Structure 1
Amino acid sequence: MMFGLPLGIFVEGAVAVLLALTIGYCTVLNQRLKRLHADKDVMRQMVADLVGATNLANQAIKELKQTAVEADLALNSRLEEAERFGIELANHVTSGTAVLERIAKITSVARQSQAPEPVEQPNKVQSALEQLSSRVRNRGVAA
């Protein structure tokens, strides 16, 4: 016997103190587990929201890609059409220049042919007019 207390009471007191500490620690752990479980539900909801947002973003990206492809096709089509119109316009300008040169030659010939022979002048002018009208007819068929 130490200090006048029986050893059994000392051991039982120590066990009672350790048991009280264990119960207190279990209570703290239980509260932490409840918070962790509540956080788990919040995290589960957050993950579900994130998956939903990711799916929406993926769908939007697919739609943007499709729109970009459609815009590219439309733009290429318009560019090809503009190229054809440019070539056709260049051909018209070239033809117009040729017609203008012929008219200039015709007027030059008409001015020079004011000679005393009035019979030949109408024939040359008539010939030039016939060439011009055939050119206009040919041009109408080509366009």
Structure 2
Amino acid sequence: MSGLPFGVLVEAAVAVLLLVTIGYCTVLNQRLKRLHADKDQMRQMVADLVGATNLANQAIKELKQSAVEADLTLNARLEEAERFGIELANHVNAGTVLMERIAKITSVARHSQAIEPVEQPNKVQSALEQLSARVRTRGAAA
């Protein structure tokens, strides 16, 4: 060999390996510090996420309650509108019947005018008075 004792070569190899190990431990230590820092950030992030989830669940419950209340109010208004619609239809039907009666009375009055011109004012007048009385009684009943 070249004159270096075998022991020196072994010790030099061990020293190089120790230097590489120390360097690796330093890099590993830095990575572990970053991991612990990330772990603390992750814990904070999880805590924030849990808080946000709780807030979202509460908001969903309130939205469901508001939707139920709105549904009940809407159903009540729809029922009331339906009742008013039925009542309006009844009034329209009553008005139609009244208009038909007026048309019949008018046609009878015109027909009687052509046949009996002398008695026409009395019959027409009495028919109009009867019609007015009926309208008044219906108006008072409604």
Q: Letter of the aligned partner of 1:100 in structure 2? A: M
| Shift in CA distance, 5/116, structure 1 to aligned 2, threshold 3 Å | closer
Describe the superposition over 1:57-106 as per-residue Cα deviations: whole angstroms up to 9, x where unpaired: 22222222222222222222212111111111110011112122223333
Cα distance between partner residues in 1 of 2:42 and 2:105: 92
User: After the TM superposition, which residues 67-106 of structure 1 pair with which residues of structure 2 at under 5 Å, given as runs?
Assistant: 67-106=66-105
| Matched residue SS, 2:26 | helix
Shift of 1:23: 1.2
| Shift in CA distance, 116/13, structure 1 to aligned 2, threshold 3 Å | closer
Q: Give structure 1 regions of 4+ aligned residues with deviation exceeding 6 angstroms.
A: none
Shift of 1:131: 6.8
How many residue pairs get aligned? The number is 140
Shift of 1:56: 2.1
RMSD over aligned Cα atoms: 2.8
Cα distance between partner residues in 2 of 1:98 and 1:111: 20
Q: Letter of the aligned partner of 1:85 in structure 2? A: F
Partner of 1:10: 9
Normalising by structure 1, we get a TM-score of: 0.75
User: After the TM superposition, which residues 42-61 of structure 1 pair with which residues of structure 2 at under 5 Å, given as runs?
Assistant: 42-61=41-60
Q: Letter of the aligned partner of 2:133 in structure 1? A: S
| Aligned residues with identical type, % of pairs | 71
Q: Unpaired segments of 5 or more residues in structure 1?
A: none
